[in-house]
Every structure is written in structure tokens, then in C-alpha cells.
A and B are shown apart, each in its own frame.
Chain A
Amino acid sequence: MSERSNPGTGDVRVRNAWKSFDKGRIAVLKGVDLEVRRGEMLALWGASGSGKSTLLHLVGGLDIPDRGEVTVSGIDTATEPARLAIRRFQVGFVFQLHNLIPDLTASENILAPSIASGLPRATARERLGALLEASGLSHRRDHRIQDMSGGERQRTAICRALINKPAVLLADEPTGALDEQTGEVIFGLFREMAKSEGVTVILATHERKFAEGCDRILRMREGSLHEL
């Protein structure tokens, strides 16, 4: 796991980002500025509804700000082709509820993004083996998702996020639905990714102890970021 398909710097930059919903009636982000360096592990800490997920969606190319600018590895997210390229090659997403396809096996779920990115099948197979090994899921590779535990499902989701070797890993409350012990295992995997692979990790969490395990903590409150 030393090369990326489309190497990016992994730098994330958000400039004066505003975002509202319901025709502007609900302001979620109010002029957010953010800069994350390659390989840094940043915690976005805050209560539910504070705007953490919205910010991650902007960084991940799932949405665009009403105002302001978001770049990932130097790519501006303003256009749909740019956002698609970011989703395919620059970022990997991990959700709170894993969001795996239940009728597919762990391997099939992990390989799904490689279909979208057009990764050669042999390369994808090779990476799959390495990811399963690193996450301790080798024995579960052909098991269906519904037969796996919560921790195994989340580790599968992390592997899926990493199959295209993204420069940035975005995790939205990845431990929120897990017990404490399993949550620590998952957090450890993120830590390892940042340290050994140089992956930029942005972790949205409301759990203080995981936030404190990151390199930096930014508190999200009422649509603004504050250093702790």
C-alpha cells in the first residue's frame, strides 16, 4: 500500500464556506475556514447537528458550498467532474452506519469503488488482499455483510474507503454505533493509516476521547470552527 492510483497531495483547504438548507432558512456552515496538511489526523468535534457532516460532505465532493471555496489535493470542488474525480481518486468515505451492500460479501463491498474508478482487476485484487490482511478480515472475505459483527462491518467499510488509495479519509462518526472496545480498534486503524500511509484523516466525532487521540481538534459549534 505504498502508491496511490492518482496521487494527490492530501491537503485540504476550505475558505469561507457557507452552507444553508431549506432555501436558506437553516444556516449550517457560517464562513468556515479549514486547512489540513497531508498525513494529519484532524478531529471535528461537536454535538449532533453542529455541521460536522455537512463540512465532510463539502470536502468529499458530495455537495458544494453556497459561498466559499473547497479544494482537495489542489482540486477545486466547484464542478461536478472535479467532484467526481475527488470522490473516485482523492477521498474515501466511512459512515457511521457503514452503509455496506448487505447482499454482497465483504470482498465484493470493498471492491465496489474500484469498479467506479476503473482500477485494473488484478491491482484491485492485490489491494483487497492487503487491506483484508491489515484489518484482520482475511477469514471473513467471502462472508455476507449480514453475517458479520458491527466491528467487522465497520472495518469492511474502512477497507472499502481505502481500496482506491485515497489521499484523504473522511470518517463521519465511524465509532458512533460501536461498543467502546470495537471503537478503539477502529480508531486505531485510522491512526495507522495516517501514520504509515500518510493519509490525511478527518474524523467527525462527538466522542471526546477519540477526538483527543487525533493530532488536532477543531470544535464545531453553531456552524463555525474553533481551535481547542
Chain B
Amino acid sequence: MSFLALVLVNLRRHKVRTLIGVSGIGFGVAAMLTILSIVLGAIAMFERILSNDSQYLVFERDVSDLFFSSVPADIVGTLRALPFVEAAQPVLFGIVSSPGHPIITCFGVEAGDARVARAVWLAGDPAAFGVEPGRVYLGECAAGFLKARVGDSIPIGRETFIVGGVLRSENGFEDGGVFLPLADAQAFFHRDGVSSVVTVKLRDKADGDALKQAVARDFPNLIALENREFSRSYSQFKIMNLTGWAVGICAFLLGGLGVANTMIMSVFGRIREIAVLRACGFSGHQIGTLVLSEAAAVAAAGTLVGFAIGAVALAVLNAAPQLHGYVNAVVQLDVALGIVAVAFVTGLAGAMYPAWFASRIQPSEALRYE
């Protein structure tokens, strides 16, 4: 007979009640794991798009979203002329639609861009990129859900394009997106002469400050940021990250209320039993610890269940063709540890009042009136 046996006996006694508490924490863990993994995976994918074969990003200063950023085309030549710049590539981001697929990311790039030049071409000729007019190039996943092959005509927005190639990318956004030559993309989106960003690759990373100063001096409405610096400051990433945690914590709060309800019912349903334990020599502290330990056991079981449910959900989402490869969930160790911590804090917080109440049960009073 151990303290643990006393903890488990009450959980075993009311299996349905315990199951409700475990489920509350479990669904909270699963929701948080799924949401955060998807959000952080999406952020990582977007970061990789921006940092493809480059270290710096030049975009419009104070813009809320890179899709609204306008970088004049003439800056590209200026940047390429700087002695410490190895390459500068303009990229125009846009959203296009095709029947049955309302949101497809579109990348307007030049032929020399690493996204096209270094991709694995499954069909089509990379050398023809941007040469023949009216051509669209599809990521492998996009080709799959659009059911299109090289030479097929596909409707994009109000226009029709001929598929000029299919290329494979490790990046979910790119693999599920379409590529247009920059000039065609500018015409399609009515953004002649501009790109969303210019990605810059330096000959020597130490020249980053020189690039920043050159951009600030010559183009005051633009800003150059190192990729990680951009990720930290980009408001969209911050919003996505905060939203993920906020939604996850809300899910946990519901789970915590479930645990609180479970533990309150558990304590109120055995006041006499607790009084007898007090008569047998258990201190108020020991009784409180007993209740908190029950909550911790519920939290532990809920965490295991939640991770199992979350892992299955992520696997399903990763594999779902309908999601066009946009989901590239990544379970990060620090996030997993954070979720475990939140699960235990929630479970224990939910048990604080019941534990406090139980620890204050006066044995004489409880024995007299029940």
C-alpha cells in the first residue's frame, strides 16, 4: 500500500469521471499540438521560401503583409551592381484561383531564380521558362490536384495558361503553388514594374550592414533585413504564432475546467472518506497533496492521450491531398515541452480549489453530519 495506490483508487472508482478529465486535457493537448505544429510549420515553410539561396530580404518599409509590398523593378539592377552582392532576385507573390481551388499561391520569378533553376523538374524544359508566352509552371502537388500535365490548358483566374512544366519542391507552399515568369505575373496581377520582395545573396555575410545602409540611403521607403531578423519582426508571423498559442491555451482552459469539475465532484463526493483519512492521521497538507496528485495523474494520462490524438491528426493532415501540401506540420521539442508544461499547470490549477477545500475539511464536522 502506497500513497500512489490511494491516488489511483479514486481515479479507478469513477472511471467515467476520470475519463472526462483525461479527455479534457487530452483534447487540449491535441488541439494545441495540432494548431501550433501547423502554424509553426507554415511559418517555417514561408521562411524557407523567402530565404531560398539568399540571406537578406528587401521589401517595402512598414508594410503589414509582404503581399502588399511593392519594390520597384529598377532597384534590382542597383542591388546587383553593388560589389558585395552576389545575386538579387525579385519575387512577386500573389494568390490565384482555378475551378475548385480558390486559393493557390503564385510566385512570379525570373528564370534564374533558385526556386525554378534549382528545382527538380519532373516534366518540361527549365530552359524554356519565361521564353514562351502564356505558360504556367506547376508544383508537383499543384499538378496533382489540378490534374494537369505539361501541354494541358488550365484556367487560372480569368485567363487560360498552358502548363509549361512540373517541378518538385520540398517546400509545401511551392509544391502546392504555381510559378509564372515575373513579367507575366506582373501583368496578371496588374502590378507592372514591381515585385513583392527582392531576395539578396551576399558574397560575404559580413557585408550585411553595408547592404542595409545602401538600401536605407538610396531607397528610404524600403528596408533590408537579414532573414532571421525578418522572421522575428514580421508581424504576420507574430500574429500566427500568438494566435496558435492563444487558441491552444483556450482549448486548455476548457480542459482545465473539465479537470476542476472532475476534482470538485470527486472531493464533494467523498467528504466522509476524507474525514476518515484525517481521523487516521492524514494532515490537511497530505489530503491536499492527494487531490493534486490525482489531478497530476489525470494531466499525465491526458497528455499521453493528447499527443497520440495530435500525432494521428497531424499525420492525416500531412497526407490529405485536399490541403495541397500547405500543411507541413513540424513537432518541435520546445513546443512539445511547452504543451506538457501547460497541460500540467492547467490540470493542477483546476485542482487547486478542490485541493484547498479538501485540505480544510474538518473531520469532526464531516463525521457528525453525514
Contacts and interface: CB of A to CB of B under 8 A. Distances in A.
Contacts of A113: 280-281
Contacts of B2: 115, 121
Contacts of B362: 62-63
A103 B13 contact: yes
A154 B364 CA distance: 20
Interface string B250-277: 0000000000000000000000110011
A62 B281 contact: no
Task: Report which residue of A62, A104, A160 has the largest number of chain B beta carbons within 10 angstroms of its beta carbon.
Answer: A62
Given A107-B1, A108-B5, A115-B3, A87 B276 contact: no
Contact of B280 (A121, A124, A160): A160
Interface residues of B, number: 26
A103 B279 CA distance: 19
Nearest to B279: A93
B283 interface: yes
Given A111-B1, A112-B1, A115-B3, A87 B280 contact: yes
A87 B278 contact: yes
Nearest to A119: B281
Given A62-B363, A88-B281, A99 B276 contact: yes
Interface string B355-370: 0000000111101100
Contacts of A99: 272-273, 276
A164 B1 contact: no
Among all A-B residue pairs, the 10 with the closest Cβ atoms = A88-B281, A111-B1, A63-B364, A116-B281, A113-B280, A62-B364, A99-B276, A116-B282, A57-B364, A87-B281
28 contacts: A54-B368, A57-B363, A57-B368, A62-B362, A62-B364, A62-B367, A63-B362, A63-B363, A63-B364, A63-B365, A84-B281, A87-B278, A87-B279, A93-B276, A93-B280, A95-B276, A103-B10, A103-B13, A104-B9, A108-B5, A111-B1, A112-B1, A112-B6, A112-B280, A113-B280, A114-B1, A115-B2, A116-B281
Interface of A: 53-54, 57, 60, 62-63, 84, 87-89, 93, 95, 99, 101, 103-104, 107-108, 111-117, 121, 124, 160, 164
